[in-house]
Amino acid sequence: MAAAAGGEITGSSSWAWAFLVVLAVGFVAYLSGLLALARRAARLRAVVVLAVAVQLVPLAAPLLLSSDAWAYWAYGRIAVEHDSNPYRDAPLDFPGDPATEWVGSRWLDSTSVYGPGFTLASEPVAAAAGTSEDAAAWLFKALAGAAAVAMTLFAARYGAFAAAFVGWNPLLAVHLAGGGHNDAWVGALLLASVAAAAAGRRNAAAVAWIAGIAVKWVPLVLFPLRALEVRARGQRPDHLALALATVAIFGLASWRYGFAWLGAFGPLAGNAEDTTSFALPHRLSQLGVPIEVAIGLFVAVFAAVYGALLLRAWRGRARLALAAGVLVACSPYVAPWYLAWVVPLAAVEEDRAARGLALALCAYLLPQTIPV
C-alpha cells in the first residue's frame, strides 16, 4: 500500500485487504502482549529490543499509506532551493520542481500548515534528498522511526509495560517509520519533556515542550494543563528556559520566513473545518445531523472535558493523555498518525481511562487510509 505521485495509494484491492488483515492481527498480538505484561513482569531489555524492531521494520518498505512526507520535501525545497517562503508560496507555484508531482492533490495549492521549527528542520532534509523522491521519503521515514524509538526509550524509564505500550504498537510503526509523519516528532518531544520534568531537569523539559509546539500546534493545547499542574504541586517552572527557547526558535523562524509563519493558522483552521470519513463528527452527520451541528456538538464536548481537566490540573494532576485522546476523538479532521500524540502520553501516565481511550482509538482508526 505504497504512496505514489499525486498522493495516490497504489496496490490492488486484494493486497489492501491482506495488508488490513496483517495489521489487525498485529494489533491483536499487541493487545495480547500488553495483557501478558500486565499479568507477569518481563525483562525491560527484551521488551525494548522487540519494540525497536517493531518500530523500525517499516523502514524496509516504501512510503506507506500517505504522501505527506513528499509535502514536507516540497515545502523544504521551496525554501532551500527556490529561496521562497513556504508560508506564502504553495508547491503548485513551482510546477517544474521534482517534488511538486509527488505532493498530494489537496496540498498542491496550500501553503505550509506546519510549525516553523519543523519547516526549518525540513530544509536540510530537502537539501540532502536533492531531486530524489525515494531519498526524501526514506529520510523523513528514518527521522520518524528514530522519533518512535526515542518515544520507546523515554517510556522505558517508566517500566516495561510503558515501553511496550508505545513500542509494540503496530499502528505507530506503520504510520511513523512507514509514513514518515512529523507527528512522531511531536510525540517524542512531549514525552521528552514529561520525562525530563520527572527527572528534575526543568530546563530540558521547557525546551522540549516549546520545540514540540514549533513542530505542530498540538502541545500548545496541552500546555495550560501542564502549567497548572506545576503550579499546584508547588514546583517552580523555568520561565527563563521557556522564554529563551521561544525566542530562539520562533525568532529564527521569523528571521527566515518573516511573520508569514503565523499565517499557518489560516490553512490549519481551514483544514479543521474539513472532515475525514473516520472523524466522529462525520459519522454523526451520516445519521442525518447537519455537519455544522455535528462539529459544534463535538466542539462543545471537548470544551466541557477540557474545562474539567483544567480543574483537575489546578488540583495537581494534568491528565495530558486523556486531553490528547479527547482532542483526537472530537476533531472533525482525524488521521491515524495523530495517535502519536496520545499513545506515548498514555503509556507513561497512570491513567486507565486514558489508556483505554488510546487503545480504542487505535482499534477504530486501524482501517483508515487503507484503500479497501
Report the amino acid identity of residue 301: V
Q: Residue range 324-331: average pLDDT?
A: 96
Query: What angle, 0 to 180 degrees and rounded to 10, lies between the N-to-C axes of helices 320-330 and 218-232?
Result: 150
Percentage of the chain surpassing pLDDT 90? 79
Pick from 238, 156, 221: which is nearest to 195 by CA?
156
Across 213-240, average pLDDT: 87
The per-residue pLDDT for range 283-320, each reduced to its tens digit, is 999 999 999 999 999 999 999 999 999 999 999 999 99
Output the average pLDDT for the chain.
92
Tell me, what's the pLDDT at 318? 93
Report domain extents, the chain.
Answer: 5-365
- CA of 357: how far to CAs of 116, 300, 347, in Å? 31, 19, 12
Identify the H or E element spanning 133.
Answer: helix 133-156
Q: Where does the pLDDT of residue 275 fall: very low under 50, low under 70, confident under 90, or very high at 90 and above? A: confident
Tens digits of per-residue pLDDT, 165-211? 999 999 999 999 999 999 999 999 999 999 999 888 888 999 999 99
Cell 523539559, residue? 205
Poorest-confidence range of 69-83, 246-260, 341-355?
246-260
Judged against a pLDDT cut of 70, whether residue 22 lies above it is answered with yes
Note the pLDDT tens digit of each residue in 35-46.
999 998 889 999
Q: Any idea which of 42-46, 68-72, 228-232, 324-328 has the lowest mean pLDDT? A: 228-232
- Residue 268 predicted with pLDDT over 60: no
Angle between helices 202-215 and 239-257 (to 10 degrees): 30
The total of other beta-carbon atoms located within 10 Å of residue 269's CB is: 10
Nearest to 245 by CA among 209, 201, 215: 209
Q: State the pLDDT at residue 230.
A: 87
Tens digit of each residue's pLDDT (9 = 90 or more) over 88-102: 999 999 999 999 999
DSSP 301-321: HHHHHHHHHHHHHHTT---HH
- Long-range residue pairs from 198-204, CB within 8 A, at least 24 positions apart, any chain: 198/157, 202/235, 202/236, 202/237, 202/238, 202/241, 203/238, 203/241
Residue 326 has pLDDT above 80, yes or no: yes
Q: Which amino acid is at 338?
A: Y
- Going by pLDDT thresholds of 50, 70 and 90, the confidence category of residue 238 is low
- pLDDT tens figures, 101-129: 999 888 899 999 999 999 999 999 999 99
Residue 270: its pLDDT value, please? 56
Of all residues in the chain, the percent with pLDDT exceeding 70 is: 94
- Rg of the chain (C-alpha set): 20
Residues 48-68, mean pLDDT to the nearest whole number: 95
**Burial of residue 368, with CB atoms counted within 10 A of its CB: 0-12 exposed, 13-18 middle, 19 or more buried:** middle
Is residue 269 pLDDT above 60, yes or no? Answer: no
Distance CA 213, CA 116 (A): 9
For the segment 319-342, the average pLDDT, to the nearest whole number, is 96
Burial class (CB in 10 A: 0-12, 13-18, 19+), 311: exposed
Asked if 311 and 255 count as a contact pair (C-beta separation under 8 A), the reply is: no
End-to-end CA distance of the chain: 10
